[in-house]
A = this chain, B = another copy of it.
Amino acid sequence: MRKTKIEIARLIYKPKLPASLRQGITIKTGAVSEPDEDREELKKLFPNTYGLPLLSVESGEEAKWPAINVGVILSGGQAPGGHNVISGLYDGLRHFNSRSRLYGFIGGPSGLVDHKFIELQHDMVDECRNTGGFDMIGSGRTKLETKEQFDSGAAICKELGISALVIIGGDDSNTNACVLAEYYAANNMGIQVIGCPKTIDGDLKNEYIETSFGFDTACKVYSELIGNVQRDAISAKKYWHFVRLMGRSASHITLECALQTQPNVTFISEEIKARGMSLDDVVDVIVKSVVQRGNDGLNFGTVLVPEGLIEFIPEMSKLISELNDAVSSSEEFNKLPTDDDKKYYIMQALSPESRDVYLRLPHKIANQLTLDRDPHGNVQVSLIETEKLLIKLVSAKLKKLKEEGEYKGSFNTVSHFFGYEGRCSYPTNFDADYSYSLGFTAAALIVEGKTGYMSNIRHLTAPATEWVAGGVPLTTMMHLEKRKGQIKPVIEKSLVKLDDNPFRYYEANREVWADSSNTYLYPGPIQYYGPEQICDATTETLSLEHPYNHM
């Protein structure tokens, strides 16, 4: 099969490993770790995997480790580096014992349940080194939650002699990995479970986990494009570009892209919610920048909007929730003959405040909220093109300001959505090295008999040789949370914290970015060769959260 030149070059790239992983290893047991909250409840739920110590993997004697059969699963959405976790795991297992075998479960967690698998051979692994995508074994969104699933998984593991599973996923998948580890331990089934932190959204991080793999690459792809669009804006001088970015729950991607590109206006969902901003407030932020720049003769600009923005605007989230309550299970509503009847029905059902919000929405968006529903009858929030909604509302306000003589500029717009473009890029050197090291570390934890751990690499802003490998007990990252009406133990999704450095840096600079100073940055495409500071540096977020001073 034909390959591009860059693919051929990337296949032979040797990911950098922490120095401690290069020869023999020894596992050093650290302090017993416990979650910050809900300790008693979690201890009861996870008697076998609670209260485990933190682990670090350090250089040690070359030794004879056992041959082990391991299964690996990709879970959830694509993130650059997935193939490298697998190749790191494969190389690690072989490093410790050349007779170890690795099986890939096909199409995600369902592969384990339905016994779809493939033994990963050398040439298959070599074909995927440092490439993007999850196409090597595929991924899926099946949730491992039931005893039946666990038992079915155990059966295939028994058949294949698999004594350890590695689950590569986000917060939910690692929550499930934790439950699975506990189940197999509680029932003495002889199957270890190790998790690896994956998600471009960057919302799987905490006191122990500095970042998830994929975030670095995805943000760099988006930032390249935003930078290009900004350079187009400042050259053509006639368009405001509205860019919606993937990330429904947390705004880490949007924040990171803002730090990399310095656009005129950026919204961080977590701030919108914390400050209780209305849709009108959001629109005013844009209008302010457009008017100031327009009156200075700069009729162009950039606005970054996180995909999930709408749901973080309190009045909108209230409206959506009322809409869902009103109609999701209403037989009566569904029987109404015309769209007008439906709209009237909804109007009657809404609270006065929500009715007011609803009536201020542009016609098309109101229709979408009223009529386009998912199979459960719920509003399809992900279909709302927030950037277009904002453009309409901003235009309306500018028209008024123009009539009043407050605004002298012109407002033409282009809208963009960047999402799928970043999930399957070739990983950056950082993500290639990091995810490979995560896989290699998982192998170390496995040969040392550990279960219920997440593979962990710290000091990520240092050069890779200085990275510190280890393991964090999955239970240590858990807390209790209400999900669909039930209290459940879950790994907390990490939202943008308004008192952390990345947000504070943005906050301290955004006024200058919004005004008529030209402060755009142009990050350019991801580079794999050339100066280290260009090719190996990671995100602004990580640099601000964990400045490099580990010496």
Contact = CB atoms under 8 A, between A and B. Distances in A.
Interface of A: 1-7, 9-10, 77-78, 131-135, 138-139, 221, 224-225, 227-229, 231-232, 234-237, 239, 241, 260, 262, 414, 416, 420-426, 518-519, 521-531, 533-535, 537
Contacts of A237: 138
Given A231-B424, A414-B420, 13 more contacts: A1-B518, A4-B521, A4-B522, A78-B232, A132-B231, A134-B235, A135-B234, A221-B228, A229-B424, A235-B424, A239-B420, A416-B420, A527-B527
A527 B421 contact: no
A425 B78 contact: no
A5 B231 contact: no
Contacts of A231: 78, 131-133, 135, 424-425
A237 B135 CA distance: 9
B135 A235 contact: yes
9 contacts: A1-B518, A2-B521, A4-B227, A4-B524, A5-B533, A7-B524, A77-B236, A235-B424, A426-B522
Contact of A132 (B7, B228, B537): B228
A310 to B, nearest CB: 20
Contact of A225 (B4, B78, B241, B421): B421
A224 to B, nearest CB: 7
7 closest cross-chain pairs (CB), A and B: A529-B530, A525-B525, A231-B424, A6-B524, A133-B231, A134-B235, A529-B529
Contact of A525 (B224, B521, B533): B224
Contacts of A426: 522, 524-525
A138 B528 CA distance: 32
Contacts of A232: 78, 133, 420, 423-424
Contacts of A225: 225, 421
Contacts of A416: 420-421
A135 to B, nearest CB: 5
A523 B424 contact: no
Contacts of A236: 77-78, 134, 139
Contacts of A229: 420-421, 424
A139 B232 CA distance: 11
Contacts of A537: 5
Contacts of A527: 6, 525, 527-529
Given A221-B228, A425-B524, A527-B527, A519 B1 contact: yes
A525 B519 CA distance: 25
A181 B138 CA distance: 61
Contacts of A529: 527, 529-531, 534-535
A137 B484 CA distance: 57
Given A527-B6, A534-B9, A133 B234 contact: yes
Contacts of A420: 228-229, 232, 239, 241, 414, 416
A168 to B, nearest CB: 13
A495 B244 CA distance: 34
Contact of A5 (B9, B224, B239, B534): B534
Nearest to A525: B525
A63 to B, nearest CB: 37
Given A236-B78, A420-B241, A425-B524, A6 B228 contact: no
B525 A425 contact: yes
Contact of A6 (B2, B77, B424, B534): B534
Nearest to A428: B525
Nearest to A535: B529
A522 B132 contact: yes
A522 B235 contact: no
Given A234-B135, A426-B522, A9 B531 contact: yes
A451 B92 CA distance: 67
Contact of A421 (B77, B228, B262, B422): B228
Contacts of A531: 5, 9, 529
A190 to B, nearest CB: 32
A135 B227 CA distance: 13
A104 B531 CA distance: 34
Nearest to A230: B424
Contacts of A521: 2-4, 7
Contacts of A235: 78, 133-135, 138-139, 424
Contacts of A421: 225, 228-229, 416
A360 B533 CA distance: 56
A17 B423 CA distance: 38
Nearest to A229: B420
A524 to B, nearest CB: 4
B523 A4 contact: yes
B533 A530 contact: no
A537 B229 CA distance: 25
A526 B528 contact: no
B519 A2 contact: yes
